[in-house]
Structure 1
Amino acid sequence: MREHGRRLYRIFLSMLFAIAQSGLSQAESLPGSTLERIRQTQTLRIGYGITPPFSYIGPNGRVMGYSIELCERVAQSLRVQLGLQRINIEYVFRTPSNRVQLLNSGMMDIECVASSNNAERRRRVTFTRSHFLVTTYYVSLAKNNLRTLADLRGRSVSVALGTVNVSQITQMNREKKLNLSIIAVDTLQKAFELVGQEKASAFAMDDILLHTMIAASPNPQDYALSSEPVSEQVSYGFMVRLDDDVFRKAVNTALNHIFHSADMESIYARWFTQPLPGSGINLNWPMSDSLKAELLTRE
């Protein structure tokens, strides 16, 4: 009987240990304080995508782009802020559809691509200060002579899932009663290719991204951008986890320094006014006065 009691006691202790270990594992898997985790692991997890010139994979397999260069410089600033001897960067591939999930699950610390800062997204993530400004237009085949929003009436428009352009086109369609057929696909490139294949009349996306895809296409002269915008100007920011204000402020401290540094002019030129690393395409996209003013503000 006494042996039976001891056996039950050992089982009870084993159950308590298992529960404790389970709780510890769950706690360790939660994002927690981003800065503290970076301090402990000496690693910053950067989310990247296939969105040149902001984030893409070069011919040597290296992740690169305007947003990536800024975030790599942010990483070095965080190293100094945290008093680390070194900091490693772990690149995490994300798509427009899964970026918020990867961020809030702790799989990545900061998304360094081209995400528009809007109210809908701010309910789920936090944004750092702006690093670019864009306006949504649409691209179509030049031969179809589509330029205005009214020209799209009764036609098909492709959009990429997980982008703000889906809601922009849906709202425009409802307000202007254009009777559009909206085709949602999982990548920007697929949405663009539908236009070239004449499976969609137009593709709605941010101006700089459309400009880049047209320039990289085999026959850029076949495409034309709309003369009328689909949306008002919005800003790109780096997404970080919701309510992690300490990390956001640390990143903004780094960005303030970068944007006011003597290097900023050459950083911008490398990705927008010079042959693009890895492709040789020159986007010829000089910095606008509004972007200059935005970068020179402090937050």
Structure 2
Amino acid sequence: MFSAVAPAWAEDTLSRIARTGTVFIGHRQGEVPFSYVADGKVTGYSVEICLEVVEAMRRRLGLTRLEVRFVPVTPATRFIMIGAGKIDVECAATTNTAERRKLAEFSYPHYVSATRFVARRKDGLAKLVDLAGRSVATTTGTVNVEQLNALNRKEKLNISVLLSRSHQEAFDLVSTGRASAFVMDDILLAGLVASSPDPSEYVISREALSPPEPYGIAMPPGDLAFKDMFNREMLQLFENGEIARLYERWFTQPMPPDGNNMKLPLSDDMKAVFAAPRLYEQ
């Protein structure tokens, strides 16, 4: 499928997009509400942001048509796919960290999240110390793995860390009692809880295991021309208020396919990002 796609280092992304009239968007299968598949359609907050920017880029490049091809990626494969030139952008919930900026370029932030854990309400687990000696799930290829391992060593908690291939798989370990908790970005935990058969059965820890960290759209490493154009067009979404409207749609209104509602109005951290995204550029 990707034999015609030049490696990222052989041709810059904008030139390849202009030449082929095609852009490859990496997405997740079940990362509600950022990037997931509902009724066979790729959708979500991050996906819609990317589609808005891609349409603006089409006009900027003077293309009559720009075909979007969606490519599924996972936390473990996303940076491999970006580095190999198999996707042009990864539109999901990817934390922008100093270490990851060695693997990809990042857009302005579109969300800010902290690491917490989810547990069954009936188990009475509220703080990190409550997880001592227990089995705790997290997803491979995420920053949360490193955070959990570091806390486990520092606090001498003797936690047995269970690595899962997907967020849903890790959440299922909790729902079936095979893991006491699932450590992940709080907004992704909220999405899983909202999509569960009975959200009242779960509780997300008030205690954060990390400071707030920004999500960004990931792009090919070293391709600053593409990053600059992407950010230029994305900045318009902040300035014309469209990104706030997209946020309202995905975090305060019913979502496809089941009409679940995150009921998460803009936080003070998010208001600050939306008001001055350039201050958060890395």
- TM normalised by structure 1 equals 0.88
Distance change (3 Å), C-alpha of 1:103 and 1:154: same
Higher helix proportion: 1
Could you list the per-position Cα deviations for residues 33-91 of structure 1 after superposition, in whole angstroms to 9, with x for gaps in the alignment?
A: 000001101111110002110011121x1111000100000101111221212211110
**Structure 1 residue 227, shift from structure 2 partner:** 2.0
Distance change (3 Å), C-alpha of 1:219 and 1:28: closer
Q: Return the alpha-carbon distance in structure 2 between the equivalents of residues 179 and 266 of structure 1.
A: 44
Cα contact 2:35–2:45 (8 A) shared by 1: yes
Q: Return the alpha-carbon distance in structure 2 between the equivalents of residues 135 and 298 of structure 1.
A: 18
**Structure 1 residue 298, shift from structure 2 partner:** 4.4
Cα contact 1:271–1:277 (8 A) shared by 2: no
The aligned runs of 1:135-154 (5 Å cut-off) are 135-154=114-133
The aligned runs of 1:1-299 (5 Å cut-off) are 29-31=6-8, 32-49=11-28, 50-59=30-39, 61-299=40-278
- SS at 2:109's partner residue? strand
Cα contact 1:45–1:92 (8 A) shared by 2: yes
Q: Return the alpha-carbon distance in structure 2 between the equivalents of residues 169 and 265 of structure 1.
A: 32
Q: Return the alpha-carbon distance in structure 1 between the equivalents of residues 268 and 125 of structure 2.
A: 29
Q: Return the alpha-carbon distance in structure 2 between the equivalents of residues 95 and 194 of structure 1.
A: 19
Q: Return the alpha-carbon distance in structure 1 between the equivalents of residues 274 and 118 of structure 2.
A: 28
Aligned residues: 273
Cα contact 2:5–2:86 (8 A) shared by 1: no
**Structure 1 residue 93, shift from structure 2 partner:** 0.6
Identity in percent:
40
**Structure 1 residue 240, shift from structure 2 partner:** 0.6
- SS at 2:32's partner residue? coil
Cα contact 2:138–2:170 (8 A) shared by 1: yes
Could you list the per-position Cα deviations for residues 275-299 of structure 1 after superposition, in whole angstroms to 9, with x for gaps in the alignment?
A: 0122200110111121121122243
RMSD: 1.4
Specify the code of the residue in structure 2 equivalent to 1:271: W
Distance change (3 Å), C-alpha of 1:298 and 1:130: closer
Q: Return the alpha-carbon distance in structure 1 between the equivalents of residues 226 and 148 of structure 2.
A: 34
- TM normalised by structure 2 equals 0.94
Q: Return the alpha-carbon distance in structure 2 between the equivalents of residues 28 and 86 of structure 1.
A: 18
Cα contact 2:21–2:63 (8 A) shared by 1: yes
- SS at 1:45's partner residue? strand
Q: Return the alpha-carbon distance in structure 2 between the equivalents of residues 265 and 105 of structure 1.
A: 33
Specify the code of the residue in structure 1 equivalent to 2:81: L
Specify the code of the residue in structure 1 equivalent to 2:37: I
**Structure 1 residue 263, shift from structure 2 partner:** 2.8
Q: Return the alpha-carbon distance in structure 1 between the equivalents of residues 277 and 62 of structure 2.
A: 24
**Structure 1 residue 262, shift from structure 2 partner:** 3.6
Computing the radius of gyration over CA atoms, which structure comes out larger, 1 or 2?
1
Could you list the per-position Cα deviations for residues 225-257 of structure 1 after superposition, in whole angstroms to 9, with x for gaps in the alignment?
A: 112111111010011111111111111001100
Cα contact 2:115–2:208 (8 A) shared by 1: yes
Q: Return the alpha-carbon distance in structure 2 between the equivalents of residues 268 and 123 of structure 1.
A: 29
Q: Return the alpha-carbon distance in structure 1 between the equivalents of residues 27 and 204 of structure 2.
A: 27
Distance change (3 Å), C-alpha of 1:281 and 1:27: closer
In structure 2, stretches of 5+ residues that fail to align are: none
**Structure 1 residue 27, shift from structure 2 partner:** 11
In structure 1, stretches of 5+ residues that fail to align are: 1-25
Q: Return the alpha-carbon distance in structure 1 between the equivalents of residues 49 and 6 of structure 2.
A: 28
